[in-house]
Structure 1
Amino acid sequence: MDAALTPPLRIQPVHVQRVSPEAAQKRVEDFLHKFHARNVAKNSGESTTSAQLQKLADALNEGQ
């Protein structure tokens, strides 16, 4: 029998700050760059998160 699936954690924001699409894109790109650097430094093969972040950065770039 398969193990029961555990749903992902739900994140509840406690503060909202609006940012422009350009600022959001810059923040995502900065985070993505740092995330890649950490993965390379620790030889991590995890690519799902970085792929999703890259899609987000690309979508923000298209919106401009």
Structure 2
Amino acid sequence: MKFCRKKQKYTRRYARLVTQEVVNSDLRSVAKRHKLTEDQVESMINQISREILPIDLEELKRLGI
């Protein structure tokens, strides 16, 4: 199934929903509301952020700050 990664118990859509709720609230309350652990919510956030912001740092030569 394309909408669910291997060895995962939740869909990408659900992960996006949880991530959006964390943006508007905090991690602990969202985890409690969905009956998940904070680590699971954090994992969802990391997964969604990798899909949204795929950054390839191999070609980065100089970071101008």
TM-score, with structure 1 as normaliser: 0.38
Higher relative contact order (CA 8 A, sep 6+): 1
